[in-house]
């Protein structure tokens, strides 16, 4: 999520915590089992701000998507490290070097996870629907791509519903709701406290899951223009258009966010808000506190909570 009016903020839920991102910092706050909060903050400026070309419309969407994946995986790794450290302490194990002490290996692992995630995502949501549509024997280009799009949407929605049944994922979805509520409070210029935050809804128009749904819908329109893929080259060309689809989807999401409240914007964001009924859950006050700690840190504000600061090594 982001917002053009004022300072842009966005975030992501992680394991027992929340990652928040501002134009200058990325902060991750994670709740330990003993109730304390571990906080990690690093300076970060988007490449769309560092390189003019990468900030141009329809290019910035792909860059932002890749950056979000990189930062998101790093945040998930950190939250996983916190959970693992607790397990080691409880089991009486003594461990030496951790991943935070091996920056090169951490970067290599992150790169591998990104490649794997991209490969699985393209395979599951773009290649599998194509194979299923081939089995229908449809020859007309428009009908072929409409059926392909229906398969893609069905697989995507089924995937979201299935993972929401996992107890641990439900916890992540609760932190997702806490992230949204905190950002709503910030955007409405309220005090960033649990009391001021908990009254907001968990559905936010600039949510990343809304963006993914828009990607699915935009892909149908783009692929209709490409016609029915007849050769291996035709199929590879479709995959090369994935960044284009991401760029268009980002601009639509951005427009809907800026015009939030208009009739057109409500139509554009409605599917994403429906999807958030699956991907966000109502958080408790302790989860809201974690989200607010991450947000205060990302905005370089005083933190009104007892936290343990994490300092990266290497």
- The single-letter DSSP state of residue 211 is H
Taking residues 99-124, report their average pLDDT. Answer: 68
SS3 state of residue 34: coil
β-bridge partners, 14: 17
What is the pLDDT, as a whole number, of residue 277? 92
Q: How far apart are CA 4 and CA 48, in angstroms?
A: 14
Nearest to 226 by CA among 126, 87, 157, 137: 126
Q: pLDDT at position 121, please?
A: 82
Domain ranges across the chain = 10-310
pLDDT at 96: 44
Q: Is residue 229 over pLDDT 80?
A: yes
Judge whether residue 135 has pLDDT over 70. Answer: yes
170: pLDDT confidence band, cut at 50, 70 and 90? very high
Q: Is the pLDDT of residue 211 over 70?
A: yes
Q: Write down the pLDDT at residue 150.
A: 95
- pLDDT band at 313; cut points 50, 70, 90: very low
- Answer whether 215's CB lies under 8 Å from 247's CB: no
pLDDT tops 70 at residue 289:
yes
Between residues 202 and 168, which one has the greater pLDDT? Answer: 202
Listed residue (81, 83, 50, 64) closest to 12, CA to CA:
64
- Can you give the pLDDT at residue 292? 96
Output the pTM of the full model. 0.85
Query: What CA–CA distance (Å, rounded) separates 296 from 293?
Result: 5
């Amino acid at each position: 999520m982001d917002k053009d009016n004022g300072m842009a903020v966005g975030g992501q839920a992680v394991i027992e915590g929340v990652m928040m991102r501002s134009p200058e910092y990325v902060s991750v706050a994670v709740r330990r089992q003993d109730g304390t909060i571990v906080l990690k903050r690093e300076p970060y400026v988007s490449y769309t701000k560092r390189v003019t070309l990468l900030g141009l419309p329809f290019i910035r969407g792909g860059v932002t998507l890749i950056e979000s994946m990189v930062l998101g995986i790093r945040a998930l790794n950190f939250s996983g490290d916190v959970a693992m450290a607790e397990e080691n302490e409880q089991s009486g194990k003594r461990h030496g070097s951790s991943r935070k002490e091996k920056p090169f290996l951490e970067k290599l692992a992150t790169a591998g996870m990104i490649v794997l995630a991209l490969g699985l995502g393209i395979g599951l949501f773009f290649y599998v629907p194509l194979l299923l549509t081939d089995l229908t024997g449809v020859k007309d280009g428009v009908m072929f791509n409409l059926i392909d799009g229906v398969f893609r949407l069905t697989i995507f929605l089924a995937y979201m519903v299935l993972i929401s049944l996992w107890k641990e994922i439900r916890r992540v979805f609760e932190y997702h709701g806490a992230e949204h509520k905190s950002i709503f409070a910030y955007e409405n210029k309220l005090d960033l406290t649990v009391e001021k935050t908990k009254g907001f809804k968990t559905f936010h128009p600039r949510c990343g899951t809304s963006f993914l749904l828009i990607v699915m819908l935009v892909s149908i329109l783009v692929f209709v223009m490409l016609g029915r893929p007849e050769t291996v080259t035709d199929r590879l060309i479709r995959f090369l258009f994935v960044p284009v689809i991401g760029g268009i989807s980002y601009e639509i999401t951005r427009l809907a966010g800026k015009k939030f409240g208009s009739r057109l914007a409500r139509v554009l964001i409605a599917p994403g808000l429906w999807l958030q009924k699956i991907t966000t859950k109502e958080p408790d006050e302790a989860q809201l506190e974690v989200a607010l700690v991450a947000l205060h840190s990302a905005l370089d504000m005083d933190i009104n909570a007892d936290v343990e600061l994490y300092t990266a090594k290497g």
